[in-house]
Amino acid sequence: MARTRAQRRRHNVLLVAALVVTLLVVLFARDVSRSAHEATSPRRSENRSFAALANRLVTLENNVDFHLAYLLGHGGGLSRPVFAARLDQIDQQLGPLLSDANLLHRPVLAHHVQRELITLTVARVAADQAVIAATTTALTLPGASASTTSLASAQVALAAAVARWNYKRFSLVGEPGRVSLEAATSPLAHLALATTLSALTSAPSLTLTRGVSISAVAVTPSPLPAPSGKIVLPPVTKVHVGVSVTNDAYCTQPVSVTVTFTSSSGATQRRVMRATIGPDASFAFDATSLTTYASERATLRVAVAGAPASSSGTVEKVYAVTLAPSGNG
C-alpha cells in the first residue's frame, strides 16, 4: 500500500533528526576525548616532576639515616672532636630536608601521595634530632640539649612513616606518567639505641676527662727581675692581676678563678671571677685590682676551680710578693 505524503514527510523529518543527533554525539565524543587528552598532559608532567623531586629527597633522607646509624654503631673508635664534628654535620642536613619537603604541598596529586612524603620527612627529622640530642647529652658534647621527643616514640613514629610511604609510593604507577617512587630505608628505626648509646659512653676515646689549667698570670705594673715564685714590684698603691685559664677537655667547662692577696699584716683581699670556657679553648679573665703599699710583703694565691688540673698544667699558683720602699726617706 503506497505511503501517503504526510507519512513520507514524517519519515524524512525523523531521518534528518537521527542524522543530527548522531553528528552531535560524534562531536561531543571528540571533544571529550580531546579534553581528556589535554588534561592528561599536565598531570603527566606534574607526576614526573614530583617523582624527580621526591626520589631525590627520599634518597637524601635514606643517606642521612644510614650515616647516623653507622656513626652510632661504629663511632666508638673516634676521638671526641671528630665524633662531634660528624654528628654536627648530620644535624646540619636536617633543616634543608624539611624545607625541600614543604615545597611539595602543591599541586595536589592523585591519592595525596605528597602528603605521605611530608609525613615521612617530618618523622625522620624528629627522630634524627631526638637521637642526636640524646647522644650529645650522653657524651657531654658541647651544645648538648634535651629533646622533647623520647627515643622510643621517635623510633615508633619513624618506622610507621617508612611503612606507610613504602605502601603509598606505588600510587602513581597507574597514573599519567606511570612514575616509580624511591623506597624508604631506615636502619635507625630498628637500632637498639639504649645499647648503642651505652657502648658509646663506655668507649675510651669518647670518655670525657675534664681538666683545666692556669696558662698565664699577668701582673701590672711589670714586676722587677726576681727568682721564680717571687714577684718584686715598685712602690705602687694598686696592682692589677690578670689570669688566663685553658680548658684542656672537649666539653664546655664552667670555671671560677679566685685571687687571694694576703698581707704580712694579716689583711686579706679576695677576688672571684667566673666564666664558661669552650672545648679546648682558653679564656683571659679581666685584670682584678688589689690595693698595696710601699715595703709591703704579701702572698698572692691564684686558684682555679671547676675541674681537676689537666695532666700538663696546674690549677694553683702561689707567689711571694714584695713591694719596694717608697724612696722618700
Least confident window among 16-30, 122-136, 250-264: 16-30
Distances (CA, A) of 3 to 7, 8, 9, 312: 6, 7, 10, 127
CA distance 145 to 45: 44
* CATH 2.60.40.10 in the chain, residue ranges: 212-323
Contact of 211 with 250, CB cutoff 8 Å: no
pLDDT, position 12 = 63
Task: Give the residue-averaged pLDDT of 261-275.
Answer: 96
CA distance 177 to 172: 8
Residues 6+ apart with CB under 8 A from 325: 235, 294, 295
**Is the alpha carbon torsion for 143, 147, 152, 153 positive or negative?**
negative
Cell numbers standing for residue 36: 581528556
- Residue identified by cell 631506615 is 186
Q: Does 34 have pLDDT greater than 60?
A: no
Count H helices and E strands in the chain, helices first: 6, 8
Q: Which CATH class is domain 212-323?
A: mainly beta
DSSP label at residue 226: -
Contact of 62 with 184, CB cutoff 8 Å: yes
43-87 pLDDT tens trace: 888 888 888 888 999 999 999 999 999 999 999 999 999 999 999
Q: Which span out of 96-105, 134-143, 164-173, 294-303 was modeled with the highest average pLDDT? A: 294-303
Pairing of strands 253-263, 297-305: antiparallel
Residue 271: count other Cβ atoms within 10 Å of its Cβ. 17
Rounded to whole angstroms, the maximal C-alpha distance in the chain is 164
Q: Does 38 have pLDDT greater than 50?
A: no
- Of 109 and 247, which is predicted with more confidence? 247
DSSP label at residue 78: S
112: left (phi over 0), alpha (psi -120 to 50) or beta: left
Cell numbers standing for residue 280: 679546648
To the nearest whole percent, how much of the chain has pLDDT over 70? Answer: 86
